[in-house]
């Protein structure tokens, strides 16, 4: 696919053309995945990044009319998304380490079990706040271990719809779980 074809596809996407979006998706998904995998070394995270890139592309499609050089533009979105995920992982790792360092030494099994139970309860409360379709899909994926295709088949929806719901649910849960953890850390300090 040459630059002119890509520019035409982006302009069609800007005008809500789903077929053009599918063409761009099919053309770039493997390349985006390979770039993400090379930098993250995580298949799941790489899949999530690719999904996020395409969701973002669709959500901001109105600005695609102005893009003169599609490939560098699209890969810049990929690298910004990868960078954001890596920063987030580093922050989470740092927070966990700080919490571990601040934890009193010699905790007993009962205290640890209580804290784990509280964490699970907090996560369940956040999951319950998801829209019903996202909640169902999230539980089928994360708690029952079903693949996206199995979920799509069971719910009679497309695998892409499952991916989008999982992406949105995961973002929502992370955002609210992080806020809750920050409050816990502040409370502990």
Residue 17, classed as helix, strand or coil, is coil
Could you tell me where the beta strands, DSSP code E, fall in the chain?
none
pLDDT in tens, the chain (189 residues): 788 899 999 999 999 999 999 999 999 999 999 988 888 888 988 999 999 999 989 998 988 888 888 988 898 888 888 888 888 877 777 777 766 666 555 555 555 555 667 777 777 888 888 888 888 888 888 878 888 888 888 888 998 998 998 889 888 878 877 766 665 555 544
Residue burial 16-41, b: 16+ Cβ < 10 Å; e: rest: eeeebbebbbebbeeebbebbbebbe
Q: How far apart are CA 12 and CA 57, in angstroms?
A: 13
Q: How far apart are CA 101 and CA 71, in angstroms?
A: 45
Number of domains within the chain: 2
Question: For the domain that residue 185 is a member of, what is the CATH number?
Answer: 1.10.10.10
Would residue 98 count as lying in a domain? no
Nearest Cα neighbor of 85 from 44, 134, 142 is: 44
Would residue 97 count as lying in a domain? no
């Amino acid at each position: 696919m040459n630059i002119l074809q890509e520019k035409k596809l982006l302009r069609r996407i800007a005008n809500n053309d789903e077929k053009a979006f599918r063409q761009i998706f099919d053309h770039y998904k493997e390349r985006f995945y390979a770039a993400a995998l090379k930098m993250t070394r995580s298949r799941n995270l790489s899949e999530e990044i690719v999904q996020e890139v395409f969701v973002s592309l669709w959500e901001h499609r109105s600005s695609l009319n102005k893009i003169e050089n599609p490939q560098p533009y699209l890969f810049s979105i990929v690298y910004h998304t990868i960078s954001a995920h890596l920063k987030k992982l580093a922050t989470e790792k740092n927070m966990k380490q700080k919490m571990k360092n601040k934890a009193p030494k010699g905790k007993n099994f009962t205290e640890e079990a209580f804290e784990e139970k509280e964490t699970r309860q907090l996560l369940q409360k956040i999951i319950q706040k998801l829209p019903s379709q996202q909640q169902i899909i999230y539980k089928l994926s994360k708690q029952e271990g079903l693949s996206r295709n199995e979920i799509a088949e069971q719910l009679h929806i497309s695998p892409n719809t499952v991916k989008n719901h999982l992406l949105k649910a995961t973002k929502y849960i992370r955002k609210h779980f992080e806020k809750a953890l920050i409050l816990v850390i502040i409370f502990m300090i």
